[in-house]
Chains A and B, each alone.
Chain A
Amino acid sequence: MATGVKPRVRAPKTATPGEVVVLKTLISHPMESGQRRDSDGNIIPRSIINRFTCTYGGETVIEMELHGAISTNPYIEFEAKVPASGEFVFTWYDDDGDVYEERAEVTVA
């Protein structure tokens, strides 16, 4: 079980129509790869975020499949096109079934 998971997103509050904006996301998560061993030599069970998606106004911006080789506190940076005012929805899917969500509204003028 991952505890203390906190998603953070940096997105602009305003944009011009059709502008390409940079989105930066960070989520605090141990991303235990399942490759490490504890001091007794037992494998520490894998616990990672295995999928990330970002949508804007219901349309997909990016989807990402994450494996054990993604660092602790996964950082993802990408770009999105904003045709009109709307809301970004960022969703992270954990191995243990938990889903973390963060939203960011953008006003297009």
Chain B
Amino acid sequence: MILTRRAIMQIGAGAAVAAGLTPFMASAKKYDDALAEFTGGAEVIDGEIELTTPEIAENGNTVPVSVAAPGAAMIAIFADGNPEAEVAVFTFGPLAGSQAASTRIRLAQTQNVIAVAQMGDGSFRRVAREVKVTIGGCGG
């Protein structure tokens, strides 16, 4: 693993032992950061939203994903094993027919796809689904 300057900065002085940080850990941290940015550090409760993904994606370049969270103002989708954890953020307007959307995403490897919804009352809900990826979608 080649450590970029940024990666070294992130690891910090006290964690020099973590130089062997695996790519998995590195990306998991990016998901935590991305989640914290979306929720502003608020508590996230599991459940009450729907996330539809295939169990196995033969081609990680185009994985269909549907999310539905009745009463949500915003829904964010994250992929915790991608180089960049953020995938998409949907914001629903007054004319939205439902708080639901579908799209197609890239997954670099087998990982969790996570949907986090900000509900109308400001609370956050989360659901995660593991997707097994046969061929990764980030061009090796």
Contact = CB atoms under 8 A, between A and B. Distances in A.
Residue from the set A75, A78, A83 with the largest chain B CB neighbour count within 10 Å = A78
Contacts, number: 115
A74 to B, nearest CB: 7
A37 B79 CA distance: 21
B86 A67 contact: yes
A36 B93 contact: no
Contact of B106 (A55, A65, A71): A71
Interface stretch (B10-18, B96-104, B124-132): B96-104
A9 interface: no
Q: Determine the interface band of chain B, counting residues with CB < 8 A from chain A.
A: 20 to 34
A82 to B, nearest CB: 8
A83 B95 CA distance: 9
Contact of B102 (A33, A55, A57, A77): A77
B93 A62 contact: yes
Contacts of B100: 78-79
A61 B87 contact: no
Interface in A65-100: 65-72, 74-83
A33 B138 contact: yes
B103 A20 contact: no
Interface string A20-50: 1110000000000101110000000000000
Contact of B89 (A36, A61, A65, A79): A65
Interface in B73-128: 79, 82-84, 86-98, 100-108
A64 B95 contact: no
Contacts of A83: 95
B106 to A, nearest CB: 5
Residue from A37, A62, A76, A80 with most neighbouring chain B CB atoms (10 Å): A62
Given A62-B92, A67-B84, A70-B88, A21 B138 contact: no
Interface of A: 20-22, 33, 35-37, 55-57, 59-72, 74-83
Interface of B: 61-63, 66, 79, 82-84, 86-98, 100-108, 137-140
6 nearest A-B pairs in the assembled complex, by CB-CB distance:
A60-B93, A79-B97, A36-B139, A20-B97, A65-B89, A77-B102
15 contacts: A33-B84, A36-B139, A37-B140, A61-B92, A61-B95, A65-B88, A68-B106, A69-B87, A69-B105, A70-B105, A71-B63, A71-B105, A78-B90, A78-B96, A81-B95
